[in-house]
């Protein structure tokens, strides 16, 4: 069905919601099926350094640590790890700038006319979108079983990382809420 909206939609900063597009682009370029873990990705110094930033949400990453694509997607979506977003971008496209181009191309392909991505994590206020555009992205990404499984997880345990990592989306604790 179609979605109605009243009045013009003004693009607004979307913060961590940008990570949904990051996950979408990664899963389009490197599809996972069922319980596949995907390629091994080695954590670089930049991702470790960023994990110590007190002013943003990050995942606890250590240089040299080997994580699978699925584990990094979990660290992207569950604790909303900005450093996981940037590491996935560098792994996928060779640089964050090239990955941002892929994010904007994907937005265009999905008909997201009010969206501009300027970083893979949404930390920059210049990453903007509209509610209608985000609905288009949500409809596309929720068709992916692996993405749905990840965002439904209230917590995750990852080998090499102490303790459980909890989903920072408190809505997940409400009965009947997914993602």
Catalytic residue annotation: 16, 19, 80
Q: What are phi and psi for residue 117, nearest 5 degrees?
A: -100, 130
Task: Give yes or no for a contact between 102 and 93, defined as CB atoms under 8 angstroms apart.
Answer: yes
Task: Give yes or no for a contact between 91 and 105, defined as CB atoms under 8 angstroms apart.
Answer: no
Q: What are phi and psi for residue 9, nearest 5 degrees?
A: -95, 125
Cα–Cα distance between 28 and 82 in angstroms, integer?
Answer: 20
Dihedral of CA 63/64/70/71: which sign? Answer: negative
- Burial-class residue 104 by CB neighbours within 10 Å (0-12, 13-18, 19+): middle
Query: β-strand 40-42 against 66-68: which pairing, if any?
Result: antiparallel
């Amino acid at each position: 069905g179609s979605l109605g909206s009243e009045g013009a939609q003004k693009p607004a900063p979307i913060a961590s919601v940008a990570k949904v597009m990051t996950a979408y682009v990664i899963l389009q370029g490197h599809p996972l099926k069922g319980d596949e873990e995907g390629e091994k990705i080695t954590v670089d110094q930049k991702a470790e350094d960023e994990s110590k930033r007190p002013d943003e949400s990050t995942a606890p990453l250590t240089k040299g640590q080997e994580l699978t694509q699925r584990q990094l997607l979990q660290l992207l979506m569950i604790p909303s790890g900005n450093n996981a977003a940037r590491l996935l971008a560098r792994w996928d496209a060779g640089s964050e700038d090239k990955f941002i181009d892929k994010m904007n191309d994907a937005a265009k392909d999905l008909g997201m006319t009010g969206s501009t991505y300027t970083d893979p994590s949404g930390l920059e206020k210049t990453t903007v979108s509209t509610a209608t555009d985000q609905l288009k992205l949500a409809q596309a990404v929720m068709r992916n079983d692996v993405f749905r499984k990840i965002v439904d997880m209230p917590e995750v345990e990852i080998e090499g990382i102490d303790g459980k990592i909890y989903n920072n989306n408190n809505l997940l604790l409400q009965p009947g809420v997914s993602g």
